[in-house]
A = this chain, B = another copy of it.
């Protein structure tokens, strides 16, 4: 079945079996060039958002975003994730206080360095302004002691949660919804605020809502904090340090004109 025809003339002729297959998430082995291009562009258009409009995210969108997260791979099919939807301003104020505390330590670290003024000018979270916060957690004890495949690498449980978070982020972008990951938090404090039981760990604290804008390139790149690395320099062949020479070094998300400016 060619997905790009889903909205075309064939749609009316879809049998109920084909419709069931479609709802089951079946896609052809390889997508069409146009569909692949859409996937690539969506991935490159995803941004870490800190400035939000106040409008609520409709439930149907939120449901699709969380369903995408839940379809992520996990070690031993463990599905160790939970999603805590936080609207309470009181709870968010407590989280925000944890952020402020950590962030003021960060500002102190950078005092007197070249990047201090730039850092102080940055907006790093949208905890109070976004209509919704989502805490994503990892339940290490899910399924008991034995999890297929987790033996020597117990970190694969939190890693699985991160795979779900990227699905969530991409599905949100497809819905026009922005996501910002707040990492400057005291994890233990946040775990206490949210009442996480022992064995359940905070992986990510996300701000979710409609963004003021999806900028063409990441904020830290735009303000000159950091450049995007050349992909070729990150790919090795057979062993660490052996160049693979595979890429053309086109930085994703940067039009040629913008690249020459740096």
Known contacts: A26-B41, A41-B3, A255-B21. The answer to whether A91 contacts B184 by CB under 8 A is: no
- Interface residues in A15-61 by Cβ distance below 8 A to B read 20-46, 48, 59
**Contact of B40 with A38 in the complex, beta carbons under 8 Å:** no
The smallest C-beta distance from A241 to any residue of chain B, in angstroms, reads: 7
A87 within 8 A of B: yes
The smallest C-beta distance from A98 to any residue of chain B, in angstroms, reads: 9
Chain B residue with minimal CB distance to A200? B240
**Contact of B247 with A183 in the complex, beta carbons under 8 Å:** no
A231 within 8 A of B: yes
Measured between alpha carbons, how far is A151 from B106 in the docked complex, in Å? Answer: 7
A121 within 8 A of B: no
- Interface residues in A42-94 by Cβ distance below 8 A to B read 42-46, 48, 59, 62-64, 66-68, 70-73, 75-79, 81-88, 91
Measured between alpha carbons, how far is A143 from B220 in the docked complex, in Å? Answer: 14
**Contact of B235 with A43 in the complex, beta carbons under 8 Å:** no
A175 within 8 A of B: yes
**Contact of A220 with B76 in the complex, beta carbons under 8 Å:** yes
Chain B residue with minimal CB distance to A170? B39
Chain B residue with minimal CB distance to A48? B73
A237 within 8 A of B: yes
A126 within 8 A of B: no
Chain B residue with minimal CB distance to A113? B146
Which residues of B are found within 8 Å of A174, using beta-carbon distances? 30-31, 35-36, 39
Measured between alpha carbons, how far is A23 from B37 in the docked complex, in Å? Answer: 9
Contact of A226 among B77, B166, B240, B252 (CB under 8 A): B77
Chain A interface residues toward B at CB < 8 A: 3-4, 6-7, 20-46, 48, 59, 62-64, 66-68, 70-73, 75-79, 81-88, 91, 102, 105-106, 109-110, 119, 124, 137, 143, 146, 148-153, 155-156, 158-159, 162-163, 165-167, 169-171, 173-176, 181, 183-187, 194-197, 200, 203-204, 214, 216, 218, 220-221, 225-226, 228-229, 231, 234-241, 244, 246-248, 250, 252-258
Q: 20 other contacts beyond A25-B45, A75-B181, with CB at 8 A cut-off?
A: A6-B38, A20-B257, A25-B44, A31-B176, A39-B170, A39-B171, A40-B64, A63-B247, A70-B228, A70-B231, A73-B181, A83-B235, A83-B236, A85-B246, A87-B238, A109-B151, A148-B220, A159-B203, A194-B240, A196-B240
